[in-house]
Each structure stands twice: as structure tokens, then as C-alpha cells.
Amino acid sequence: MTDNDTVKLGIIAGEGKFPVLIAREAKAKGIDVYVLGVKGNTEMAAFDGLARRSVVLKLGQLGKAIDFLKENGVRRAVMAGRVQHVNIFSVMPDLRAAKTLARAKDMRPKTILSAAIEEFRKEGIEFASSALFLERFLPHKGVLTKRAPTQDEEKSIELGFKISKTLAALDVGLTSVICNRAAIAVEGMEGTDNCIKRAGELYRSQQNADKKASIVVVKVARPKQDDRYDLPVIGKGTIRMMIEAGARALAVEADKTLILDLEEVIELANKNDLTITAV
């Protein structure tokens, strides 16, 4: 990769603020940003003034994505932002994507994304870590908020970590929700925030549930996490969903979980007497 290549960055952008933050940091460093948005997921207006060029593609248009980056001389790219898993069922792959999927051993996100990255690599496009320029948002081990977890919360965190790691190893989800050392909900295709919402609804619907008990959310990284895609991400929306669901504690895997707008997340948690810890 030449010095000229390093002044251009391609961003395959999904939902939310995550890809926008990378674009903002890249531009501040004098790097030209080229954005590939995913139809039905990416808020393209957020990249106004940040992207040198942008395009919106449907899921499955792998050939067009590669062509866009090559035409603009982009040799380095990142994936950032969530793509709704439900959209996977409506994918109409182009010829290159169809051939790539036909060679895949299964249809797990990890398998598909790894295969897609390999297709880009064949064309001279390398993927960097999804945390590019955002390393300060990866908290180290320790309690991040004013309030530390209670003893009961610590026990629920320990159980939740084991459950979440099992889910992650199976490429099912990254999050579990625990209360009184019992699992209320585990994450599937709906994503972390909707898993938390479902857990709150389920727990409140139980007539004999201890409404004062602490609901704990635990989010981890996959074993041997490939940091080029699908890093665990937490943001203010997650904290707001916890408040709505009645959750009191959040544990994330240290050094492997992005907490976007970290200072604001901690401030919001402190304001509502929540605890956040990196384990």
C-alpha cells in the first residue's frame, strides 16, 4: 500500500452514529472518505460535508461495492454500523455475491462477512479494524460509573458473561439479560436494544417477579473476534433502553467493546444510578 493509498478511506456504513464518527475522524486527519451506504439502513444525510463521494447500494451488490472503491482508487476500507439482520432474508445477490455465497460453508454472519472481505482483498482492498480512529472508546477493565455493581449484580454478571460467551461462540448473539442469577432473555437477530426491551417486558409480566431485583445486561465479543467487522457496540440508545426496561447494570467485555460517546454514556448512567463495568 502506497502513501497515496492511505489518504483515502472507504466506509461501508450501516445504521447509527458509528460510521459517522469514523468519517469525522478521518476527515480531520486529511483523509478523503468514500461512503457506501446500505439501502434501508444508512442515514446518508449524516455524511454531508464528510464524504468525498457516496453511493447507496442494496444488500448483496458486492460487485458494485468493489467497483465503486476501485473506481475511486480506494485501497483501505472499514465496516461500521449495524445492518438489520432481518434484511438478510430479502437479499438479491449480484453475480459476484451469488458465487461467494455458493462457496460459503454456512450462512452465519461471520462466514458471510469473512467471505466478502476476501473478495475485496482479491481486488487489492484491505479492511482495517472497525475501531479505526476510535480506540479511545474501548474501555479497559474496571468500573466506569460512580456506582459499582452490588454483590448480587456481580453474581449475575458472572453468569451472564458465561451465557453471552456461549451465544457468541455459536454466532447467535452477543448479549444476555440476567436477573437474580437467572437468564431472562438472550439476543438473537433483533439486536441488543430490542433484546433488553423484550427482557424488561417479560420480567414485568411475571406476577411473582421481585420488581426491586436488579436486571443486568451483559455484552461480550466473539471468541477470536475479527475486529474488521461486527465489534460489540454500546451507545446512549442502549442506556436509554435499559432505563425503560428497568435494567440497573451493564457489563461489557474490556478492551473489545466500543462505547460510543463514552463520556455522555457514563453521564447518563450516573444520572439514573446505573452501573457500567468492563470485565
Q: Tens of pLDDT along the chain (279 residues)?
A: 444 456 999 999 998 899 999 999 999 999 999 999 999 889 999 999 999 999 999 988 999 999 999 999 999 999 998 876 555 555 678 899 899 988 988 877 788 889 999 999 999 999 999 999 999 999 999 999 999 999 999 999 999 999 999 999 988 899 999 998 899 999 988 889 999 999 999 988 875 666 678 899 999 999 888 899 878 999 999 999 999 999 999 999 999 999 999 999 999 999 999 999 999
| pLDDT of res. 88 | 54
Domains annotated for the chain, with CATH where assigned, are: 5-127 (3.40.50.20), 136-278 (3.40.140.80)
Residue-wise pLDDT tens digits, 66-87 = 999 999 999 999 999 887 655 5
Residue-wise pLDDT tens digits, 154-201 = 999 999 999 999 999 988 899 999 998 899 999 988 889 999 999 999
Is residue 79 within 8 A of residue 130, CB to CB? The reply is yes
Record the pTM: 0.85
Is residue 10 within 8 A of residue 76, CB to CB? The reply is yes
Work out the angle between the directed axes of helices 236-245 and 262-271 (0-180°, nearest 10): 20
| pLDDT of res. 1 | 45
Helix (H) or strand (E) holding 72: none
Quickly list DSSP for 1-34: --TTGGGEEEEEE-SSSHHHHHHHHHHHTT-EEE
Rounded CA separation 264/44 (Å): 24
